[in-house]
Structure 1
Amino acid sequence: MAGPQLPPSAVDVDYGTIGWGASRTMSDFEAGMWRLETAEPRLRSTIAAVDVLDTTPEWKRLVAAHEWALGVIPRFRMRVVDPPFGLGKPVWSVDPEFDLDYHLRRIRLPSPATFDDALDFCRTVVDRPFDRARPPWEALLVEGLDDGRAIYLLKTHHSITDGMGGMQLVTLLHSRRREPTPDKPTALPPPPEHLTGFDALREQVVERVLTLPSSVAGAGRAGVSLASRVARDPGAALGFAESLLRLAAPPACPPSPLMRARGLGRRFGTLETTVDELRAAAKSVGGSLNDAYLAALLGGFRLYHERLDSPIERLPIGMPISLRDASDPMGGNRFGVARFAAPVGVADPADRIRRVRELVLEARDEPAADVLSMAAPALSRLPVAAVARWYLAQTALIDLQASNVAGITVPVYMAGARIDRMFPFAPAPGCGVMATLVSHTGVCCIGVTIDTAAVTSPDLFLECLSEGLDEVLRLGRKRKGAR
């Protein structure tokens, strides 16, 4: 089935009412991300994008661009209304007191200011929890960098969207030209709503009553269809059950003894290389770009453990897997997570890529990859505190989560400033390190979120990650030099 495609810019195409984030009610999975952090702050699910701009955009134009975007994507005017006592699911409702000045701000760093200074300031902003009475997003323009560049930070809650949905969003909103587009398609903002938690519950009860006959009929048809498929192909049903057991089981190796602690402290780091370089390294040994990326991260973990005199052979890692296809609506969350024991102790980067490739292909073929979404309805009926404790215990078994999201291939602009880099920072809810790669105009932008309770020497760790990337890239350079 064809995968989702990134859309053209809404600056150039009149979409009318864009369906990005159109669902009124959160899924059970999204509701879990929204609620669990209230019981366990270490499960906070904040996504951030740190864009490096080639110049400082004109402020009034940037504000106007956000006002336009709020008409195109109404979700960003909406707050979350949670039914009382956890009955029902959270609902997206237009904030009657929406204030763009609260969500979009600017700051000038004291001179001299470098990219690292700006990145560390962005981390402090991302660390702060959202005001849950307002729409869960913030944007910040950071000015004053010595080289004349600027930083744009977009911070959103994971319940709004996953990485692929986020890329659909920015592709829709960013212009393909530096000059203003005064006649771009526009849309009126939605009217404000004064929705209470009891109103949200009433909505869902009424909807449940009205749709009950069709739901029962649909469940019956699904049951008959499932029974028919099992009768036709009992091997597939057995394979699904075995896959479910594998994904529900703990990872096949214990966590690193150096990284057992989990806390609230975070450190951001970045790595970058070109798409061509990383792909050439992967191709030199028969792997994919994603295989080389994972092998580079594992090389960094190996070096870090060796430098601290605590070498390990395997590392438990998680890998988000997009479950989207072309028929899925834009926005929202559609992903699963595979877990496996990665060959961190393999010193040869070529061998490491090959072994990673075998594990990744097995993980992507798991029939029960959507186990999180399947379990979410049952988990949503349990006490939030109990689920949060259980979930943290599961995610704490993972030392690294690594995600790879296809990004924008053409130059894009924000209020006249070109976006030269787009560094993603996904949450690390219980895992020691979360690394995310976004390909942006031919550059692999890698954002690393570090739990500083797990990684107690973050400067050394980032140095090791850089060395791990270099040893993988040398594979492609050797092949090129041998021609």
Structure 2
Amino acid sequence: MAQQHLDRLTAIDASFLAQEGPASHMHIGGVVLCEGPAPRFEEILDHIRSRLHLVPRYRQRLAEPPLEAGRPLWVDDPTFNLEYHVRQTALPAPGTEDQLWRLVGRLMSQQLDRSKPLWEMWIVEGLERGGFALLSKTHHSLIDGISGVDLATVMFDVTPVPAEVPHPDEPWRPHREPTPVDLVAGGAIGLAKAAAAGVAGVLGAIARPQSALRAATEAAEGVGEVVWAGLNPAPATPLNVEIGPHRRYTVVRNSLADFKLIKNAFGGTVNDVVLTVVSGALRAWLHGRGVRTEGVELRALVPVSTRGNHEANTLGNRIAAMRAPLPVYIDDPVARLRAVKLAMDGLKESKQAVGAEVLTGVQGFAPPTILAQASRLNFSTRLFNLIVTNVPGPQLPLYVRGREMTDVFPVAFLPKNHALAVAIMSYNGQMNFGLLGDYDALSDLEDFAEGIRTSLAELVALARSRTSPPRAAGEANGASANGASARRGAGARG
């Protein structure tokens, strides 16, 4: 796995640094609930320490080349201290889940220190129902949601007995602190590698002119679609207001089987059902705020992984963004699902994601000051109302030092002027939502959570009624007659 000292950040990774501000944090995370008593703190530290060599980036920090001569680089942290990154706390009695979600909101409100490796892990004890929680918090420049699933190898095992992990022959020793000349040279090497890849692409295009022409045409169409989307901003809503640094967090537990039931009954994909459920919840939430939804279609920024199979277990972001419709103007849940499916099918056939990747590639040659502006154009917050990200997780139980992981809830991030982010993750038959809101703008975050539950329940009921076998005429008439008789009897008794 290529995670070397003096690696230059990719354009998209650097863009997450450029977009970060005092109120718009660019870290993501997850909350894991585990059964049984928590391992001793020292045992957790030893467990992580024994596996850190699997993710070398966790012991590296950012280094800026002098005079903004290039993008930041990852360098070994000579003062790395695991006890700084792994922390222990406990909830006060009674230790309810509401208390846990409030703690998560507070911890996600605090920015990571850029002078250290950009991650933290919190062990939370004192839960009312027993067990313990693990909260992970990692800067988006280091990792994205899809590769985050691969990083579970650091903490989790697929059996109750922890696996034996092979270790390097030599203990980890940090490289020496880089000099300004080292940083400039490291950036130049990264730029040269990017240029070499570009030359290789040109040579490949010469060898395969027809496929190259098709790719160039798709890329041009994709950039055109991104530009066209930029000329059509998302509608103004109460979600798109100035936000502060403080966060609220809550969750919604769901069954993956319910989403598959709806998908099988009415067509589409699980992700189409997710977007439909979110649309229904947003419709109800907007009505609760007194906002009319006739003719209103919100837009979700939906990250799409472009990571190939050969890039498994690698860090850094391999994502493009699509702007998916949320038809809050449609009252009927099934009609809403069909509208989402139709629109998503069109997006998949479009070149929007290809265009986003092309723009990211162009940014790869931009100096940092231009990159900061270009990343904001590519990630313009005017183009969407909220982030909706759906990460597939393992469909088998995982363990931490022999304790089974019972639940997992993802945590997304809030860009500038965005008060809500919805993250979904499947795990072992679950399909759980993590809802992150601005503390002041989303004081009714629980109302939106209830809207998720109601929106899903409506679709489940309709799917079950569609898929249940019809009764025989005599059975139906008998049931009707019995029901009428029962009602007459109740009336007589009344």
Q: How far apart, in 1, do the equivalents of 2:408 and 2:2 lie?
A: 21
| Kept in 2: contact 1:32–1:376 (CA 8 A) | no
1:88 maps to a residue whose letter is G
Secondary structure of the structure 1 residue equivalent to 2:435:
strand
Q: Does 2:81 align with 1:99? A: yes
Match of 2:183 in 1: 200
Match of 1:475 in 2: 462
2:184 maps to a residue whose letter is L
Moved more, 456-465 or 436-445: 456-465
1:145 maps to a residue whose letter is L
Q: How far apart, in 1, do the equivalents of 2:467 and 2:231 lie?
A: 38
Alignment partner of 2:237 out of 253, 257, 260: 257
Secondary structure of the structure 2 residue equivalent to 1:382:
helix
Alignment partner of 2:425 out of 423, 438, 447: 438
Q: How far apart, in 1, do the equivalents of 2:366 and 2:72 lie?
A: 15
Deviation at 1:143, TM superposition (A): 0.5
Alignment partner of 1:153 out of 135, 138, 144: 135
Deviation at 1:273, TM superposition (A): 1.2
Q: Which ranges of 4 or more aligned residues in structure 1 deviate by more than 6 Å? A: none
Give percent identity, aligned residues only: 25
Match of 2:388 in 1: 402
| Kept in 2: contact 1:262–1:453 (CA 8 A) | no
- Cα distance per residue 1:380-418 (max 9 Å; x no partner): 4435765576567x2144212211111011111112221
Moved more, 199-208 or 460-469: 199-208
Deviation at 1:435, TM superposition (A): 1.2
Secondary structure of the structure 1 residue equivalent to 2:393:
coil
Give me the TM-score of the superposition, normalised by structure 1. 0.86
Secondary structure of the structure 1 residue equivalent to 2:113:
coil
Secondary structure of the structure 2 residue equivalent to 1:92:
strand
Secondary structure of the structure 2 residue equivalent to 1:80:
strand
Q: How far apart, in 2, do the equivalents of 1:459 and 1:212 lie?
A: 46
Q: Describe the shift of the 1:215–1:162 C-alpha distance in structure 2 as closer, same or farther (beyond 3 A).
A: closer
Match of 1:243 in 2: 222
Secondary structure of the structure 2 residue equivalent to 1:57:
coil
Q: Does 2:307 align with 1:321? A: no
Q: How far apart, in 2, do the equivalents of 1:296 and 1:363 lie?
A: 19
Match of 2:33 in 1: 52
Give me the TM-score of the superposition, normalised by structure 2. 0.84
Match of 2:327 in 1: 343
2:339 maps to a residue whose letter is R
Secondary structure of the structure 1 residue equivalent to 2:284:
helix
Alignment partner of 1:377 out of 350, 364, 367: 364
Q: Describe the shift of the 1:274–1:338 C-alpha distance in structure 2 as closer, same or farther (beyond 3 A).
A: same
Q: How far apart, in 2, do the equivalents of 1:230 and 1:406 lie?
A: 32
Match of 1:7 in 2: none
Deviation at 1:61, TM superposition (A): 2.1
Match of 2:254 in 1: 273
Q: Describe the shift of the 1:360–1:214 C-alpha distance in structure 2 as closer, same or farther (beyond 3 A).
A: closer
Match of 1:355 in 2: 339
Q: Describe the shift of the 1:388–1:478 C-alpha distance in structure 2 as closer, same or farther (beyond 3 A).
A: same
| Kept in 1: contact 2:51–2:165 (CA 8 A) | no
Q: How far apart, in 2, do the equivalents of 1:255 and 1:455 lie?
A: 18
| Kept in 1: contact 2:411–2:436 (CA 8 A) | yes
Q: How far apart, in 2, do the equivalents of 1:117 and 1:258 lie?
A: 27
Q: How far apart, in 2, do the equivalents of 1:376 and 1:147 lie?
A: 49
Secondary structure of the structure 2 residue equivalent to 1:270:
strand
| Kept in 1: contact 2:276–2:326 (CA 8 A) | no
1:55 maps to a residue whose letter is G
Structure 2, unmatched stretches of 5+, are 471-494
Supply the RMSD in Å over aligned alpha carbons: 2.7
Q: How far apart, in 1, do the equivalents of 2:180 and 2:57 lie?
A: 18
| Kept in 2: contact 1:259–1:399 (CA 8 A) | yes
Q: Describe the shift of the 1:99–1:390 C-alpha distance in structure 2 as closer, same or farther (beyond 3 A).
A: same
Match of 1:307 in 2: 288
Paired residues, number: 457
- Cα distance per residue 1:422-443 (max 9 Å; x no partner): 1111112233322121110110
Moved more, 124-133 or 453-462: 453-462
Q: How far apart, in 1, do the equivalents of 2:180 and 2:38 lie?
A: 40
Match of 2:119 in 1: 137
Secondary structure of the structure 1 residue equivalent to 2:342:
helix
Deviation at 1:21, TM superposition (A): 4.8
Moved more, 466-475 or 160-169: 466-475
2:460 maps to a residue whose letter is L
| Kept in 1: contact 2:149–2:393 (CA 8 A) | yes
Deviation at 1:78, TM superposition (A): 1.0
Deviation at 1:317, TM superposition (A): 1.6
Secondary structure of the structure 2 residue equivalent to 1:369:
helix
Q: Describe the shift of the 1:90–1:212 C-alpha distance in structure 2 as closer, same or farther (beyond 3 A).
A: closer
Deviation at 1:302, TM superposition (A): 0.3
Q: How far apart, in 1, do the equivalents of 2:231 and 2:425 lie?
A: 26
Q: How far apart, in 2, do the equivalents of 1:282 and 1:217 lie?
A: 45
Secondary structure of the structure 2 residue equivalent to 1:327:
helix
| Kept in 2: contact 1:396–1:432 (CA 8 A) | no
- Cα distance per residue 1:339-395 (max 9 Å; x no partner): 143211111111111111122222233335141523433654435765576567x21
Q: Does 2:434 align with 1:447? A: yes
| Kept in 2: contact 1:282–1:353 (CA 8 A) | no
Moved more, 217-226 or 406-415: 217-226
